[in-house]
Amino acid sequence: MAPDATHTNQRVLSALNRATDDILRAVDAPATGLRDGLNLLVNAAMSYLKGETHGVEAVVAANWDGDPNLEDVLGWIQEGHEPRTGSRRS
């Protein structure tokens, strides 16, 4: 593909999710910590690309079920803790 090729949002999302899954599989990551960080990265990248949100606080509000805030998600990343009430919606 040419270096200046453009891609649909769905292709970008698919590539980001595939890369995330490959990385998590490669390190045999548990369902917490690193997974939460990569999910936040994917959600933020897509939200910024589409111009839907500005800042990670808005990304969390728009992309996680339940009522987590940015502090909650960052805590899951740092502590490797993911409560059952929050989940990624990508």
Top mean pLDDT of 5-9, 39-43, 80-84 is at 39-43
pLDDT digits (tens, 9 = 90+) for 41-81: 999 999 999 999 889 999 999 999 988 999 999 998 988 75
Helices 70-79 and 34-50, packing angle to 10 deg: 140
Over range 19-34, report the average pLDDT: 89
CA–CA separation, 24 and 33 (whole Å): 11
Q: How confident is the model at residue 2 (pLDDT cuts 50, 70, 90)?
A: low
Predicted local distance difference test score (pLDDT) of residue 84: 43
Residues 6+ apart with CB under 8 A from 11: none
